[in-house]
């Protein structure tokens, strides 16, 4: 297969983990005879510094011309600590999602037996947990009408974010959830706050109307606060969870902690145009240049990319290599066993590339 990949390394640890992701993708392409080409593009704080725009038009065109986007991370403390900044790196990420029509974010939460001890939860709760959170990505408060902090007519400073959803937006993401549930254990949990929010009542109304089209899938409904508790109390309850943008952002970060490290979980964002594959963690600027960032989420994002194009064997080999590296304690510091050998970002990536080449 011939694939054109847009490479958006971004900020912080992004370039370091991206180097390993591309190396793994190339090793798999060589092994299976695929023709994969790459084109780098600016995004995030790096793009603001270079051209004043976190997602410049040239980057957008590069993404549109590609078969897939491999993305790392955006974010920089100089913007985080400046509430008055007019342009922020994260605006580039939101712009990419909106312009590419990436309305479905697929985030698997899967535990690794050899890392269960790293989870803050008890082993018996975590072991075997395996679910997917499907987050609506282009609606809700992140994209609704906004009013920045300002002083109103009463002399009180206020601000506004509108949690807007339309029926078509809700229906299309629910159908994505049902499609994934049918491929797994046929259990879909719709997460909302319908007892308080009008937008959530729309979600529940639409879900109740279309659930009859999927009689083979068990559908249940859960308020977001209850879902947050249930993920801690009984993570193995969930199979596929579908929810709106803000709730999904919070719940998926909570879910990542179940595995013991945010550096282990990949994601895919799909929709109207070019799909994007990325780790769920941020740019971790404190780790930049120290060769300590975990590249596994980036590498597993490559596995998801191959699988998206129907290349199951290629994705499976990457997953096998990642599991082998963990089993043999080839791990970055945050998940290394006590007394284990020291491996950095580059060393872990090289070990996985060598495993693939020698398999």
Q: Is 67 a catalytic residue?
A: no
C-alpha–C-alpha distance, residues 248 and 252, integer Å: 6
Q: Is 164 a catalytic residue?
A: no
Helix, strand, or coil (residue 162): coil
Q: Is 65 a catalytic residue?
A: no
Kindly list the domain boundaries of the chain, sorted by start residue.
1-100+274-359, 104-266
Residue in 76, 178, 193, 239 annotated catalytic: 193
Architecture of the domain whose range is 104-266: 3-Layer(aba) Sandwich (3.40)
Chain Cα centroid distance, residue 197 = 26
Q: Please, are residues 170 and 202 in contact by the beta-carbon 8 Å criterion?
A: yes
Q: Is 249 a catalytic residue?
A: yes
Give the pLDDT of residue 84: 66
Nearest Cα to 94, choosing from 134, 45, 133, 143?
143
Q: What is the pLDDT along the chain (359 residues), one digit of tens a residue?
A: 999 999 999 999 999 999 999 999 999 999 999 999 999 999 999 999 999 999 999 999 999 999 999 999 998 888 876 666 778 888 999 899 999 999 999 999 988 888 887 788 888 888 889 999 999 999 999 888 999 889 999 999 999 999 999 999 999 999 999 999 999 999 999 999 999 999 999 999 999 999 999 999 999 999 999 999 999 999 999 999 999 999 999 998 888 888 877 788 899 999 999 999 999 888 999 999 999 999 999 999 999 999 999 999 999 999 999 999 999 999 999 888 888 899 999 999 999 999 999 98
Q: Is 142 a catalytic residue?
A: yes
pTM: 0.88
Architecture of the domain whose range is 1-100+274-359: 3-Layer(aba) Sandwich (3.40)
Nearest Cα to 337, choosing from 260, 278, 267?
260
Nearest Cα to 91, choosing from 40, 148, 147, 48?
48
Does this chain's domain 1-100+274-359 share its CATH topology with 104-266? yes
Chain Cα centroid distance, residue 290 = 23
Residue in 30, 65, 123, 225 annotated catalytic: 225
Helix, strand, or coil (residue 109): strand
Residue in 249, 306, 343, 355 annotated catalytic: 249
């Amino acid at each position: 297969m011939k694939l054109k990949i847009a490479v958006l390394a971004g900020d912080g640890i992004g370039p370091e983990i991206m180097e390993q992701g591309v190396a793994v993708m190339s090793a798999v392409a060589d092994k299976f005879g695929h023709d994969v080409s790459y084109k780098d593009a600016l995004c995030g704080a790096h793009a603001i510094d270079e051209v004043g725009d976190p997602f410049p038009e040239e980057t957008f065109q590069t993404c549109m011309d590609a078969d897939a986007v491999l993305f790392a991370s955006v974010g920089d403390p100089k913007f985080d600590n400046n509430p008055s900044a007019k342009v922020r790196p994260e605006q580039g990420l939101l712009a990419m999602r909106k312009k590419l029509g990436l309305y479905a974010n697929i985030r698997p939460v899967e535990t690794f037996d050899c890392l269960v001890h790293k989870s803050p939860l008890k082993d018996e709760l975590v072991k075997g947990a395996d679910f997917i959170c499907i987050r609506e990505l282009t609606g809700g408060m992140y994209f609704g009408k906004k009013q920045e902090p300002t002083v109103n007519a009463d002399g009180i400073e206020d601000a506004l974010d509108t949690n807007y959803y339309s029926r078509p937006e809700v229906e299309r993401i629910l159908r994505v959830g049902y499609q994934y549930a049918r491929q797994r254990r046929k259990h879909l949990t719709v997460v909302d706050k319908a007892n308080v929010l009008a937008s959530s009542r729309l979600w529940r109304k639409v879900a109740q109307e279309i659930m009859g089209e999927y009689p083979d899938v068990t559908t249940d409904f859960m308020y977001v606060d209850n879902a947050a508790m249930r993920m801690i109390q009984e993570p193995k309850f969930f199979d596929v969870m579908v929810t709106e943008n803000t709730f999904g952002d919070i719940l998926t970060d909570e879910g990542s902690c179940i595995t013991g490290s945010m550096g282990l979980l990949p994601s895919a964002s799909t929709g109207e145009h070019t799909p994007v594959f990325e780790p769920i963690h941020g740019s971790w600027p404190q780790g930049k240049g120290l060769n300590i960032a975990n590249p596994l989420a980036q590498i597993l994002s490559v596995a998801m990319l191959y699988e998206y194009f129907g290349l199951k064997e290629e994705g499976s080999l990457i997953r096998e290599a990642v599991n082998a590296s963990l089993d043999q304690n080839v791990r970055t510091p945050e998940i290394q066993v006590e007394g284990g050998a020291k491996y950095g970002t580059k060393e872990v990536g090289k070990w996985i590339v060598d495993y693939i080449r020698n398999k």
